[in-house]
């Protein structure tokens, strides 16, 4: 249907599903890289639109969070509203489809840029949380950790007079929320062990992905037949790098996402169609290995 050197773009659902089925039959052992587009149907908004442009104000930066108490006050106060949307989200059909692809033997490793843990909830086992996990909080000084829910309870106890507005539908992708007021009196719950700065166990913008995660993912790519990107615009280098590694290794690449990505010119197969519907048809057409 297509050769390794060809570049084919599909925007029709049936054509896309057939092309993806054929691709997986040619290259049955895949490393997958997923992004925010996987979780929008679970009620978690994406950072960017189909053109790769910001849909919200830029997220908190790592250095600003670490250096400015006012940024931490704003973040933890607003997260009291936004976190529950991430915490209570449930996997959608696309998450379950990728877990089934793993069960069928087609997924050697799933690397996700998402921090919502929905792949694990859906049953995927070979998962690398590239950007960490939002349900855990860690001390940046001593390494003490606790759950995100525990941290929020501590913040509420320190701020009993805080009045939380109703901001339904205005949550941001990282659990932040669209809420503006004077947070200068907000009391932050610092590390109970050493008094250090507590931060979600997430790679904030401006920070680096831990090297061991990158090396683990690179090794998985070496051991796979091809790379698939699903639901990511690849606008940040942490994900784009794996498309470039695949090119350097001579591994074919497919991209399934609605809109443009930074690796469109590297992909042998670009599918600009609905993720859930394309995966549903593809999964039904694939035999068990």
- How many residues belong to the chain? 289
Which residues touch 161 (CB under 8 Å, ≥6 apart)?
none
Residue 4, burial from CB neighbour count under 10 angstroms (0-12, 13-18, 19+) = exposed
Annotated binding residue at 139?
A: yes
What are phi and psi for residue 90, nearest 5 degrees?
-115, 150
Which residues touch 63 (CB under 8 Å, ≥6 apart)?
206
What are phi and psi for residue 113, nearest 5 degrees?
-85, -10
Annotated binding residue at 243?
A: no
For the beta sheet containing 132-139, the strands, ordered from the edge strand earlier in sequence to the opposite edge, are: 145-147, 132-139, 198-202
Q: Is 56 a catalytic residue?
A: no
Q: Which two tokens stand for residue 129?
A: 């949380």
Nearest Cα to 255, choosing from 224, 286, 222, 231? 231
Given a contact cutoff of 8 angstroms between Cβ atoms, the answer to whether 105 and 157 are in contact is no
Catalytic residue among 22, 131, 152, 185: 131
Annotated binding residue at 109?
A: no
Q: Which residues are annotated as a binding site for Zn(2+)?
A: 139, 142, 191, 194
Which residues carry out catalysis?
131
Binding site: which residues? 139, 142, 191, 194
């Amino acid at each position: 249907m297509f050769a390794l050197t060809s570049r084919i773009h599909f925007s029709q659902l049936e054509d896309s599903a057939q092309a993806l089925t054929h691709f997986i039959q040619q290259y049955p052992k895949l490393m997958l890289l997923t992004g925010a587009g996987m979780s929008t149907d679970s009620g978690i908004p994406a950072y960017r639109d189909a053109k790769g442009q910001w849909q919200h104000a830029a997220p908190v930066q790592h250095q600003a969070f670490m250096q400015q108490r006012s940024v931490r006050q704003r973040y933890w106060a607003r997260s009291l509203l936004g976190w529950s949307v991430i915490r209570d989200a449930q996997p959608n059909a696309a998450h379950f489809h990728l877990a089934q692809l793993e069960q069928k033997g087609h997924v050697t490793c799933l690397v996700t840029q998402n921090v919502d843990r929905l792949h694990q909830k859906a049953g995927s086992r070979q998962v690398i949380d590239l950007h960490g996990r939002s349900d855990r909080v860690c001390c940046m000084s001593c390494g003490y950790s606790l759950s995100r829910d525990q941290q929020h309870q501590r913040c509420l106890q320190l701020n009993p007079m805080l009045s939380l507005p109703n901001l339904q539908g205005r949550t941001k992708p990282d659990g932040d929320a669209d809420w503006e007021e004077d947070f200068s009196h907000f009391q932050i719950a610092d590390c109970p062990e050493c008094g250090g700065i507590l931060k979600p166990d997430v790679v904030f913008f401006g920070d680096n992905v831990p090297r061991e995660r990158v090396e683990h993912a690179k090794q998985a790519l070496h051991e796979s037949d091809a790379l698939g990107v699903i639901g990511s615009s690849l606008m940040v280098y942490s994900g784009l790098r794996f498309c470039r590694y695949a090119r350097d290794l001579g591994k074919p690449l497919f991209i399934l996402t609605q809109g443009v990505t930074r690796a469109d010119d590297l992909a042998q197969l670009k599918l600009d169609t609905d993720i859930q519907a394309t995966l549903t048809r593809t999964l039904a057409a694939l035999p068990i290995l």
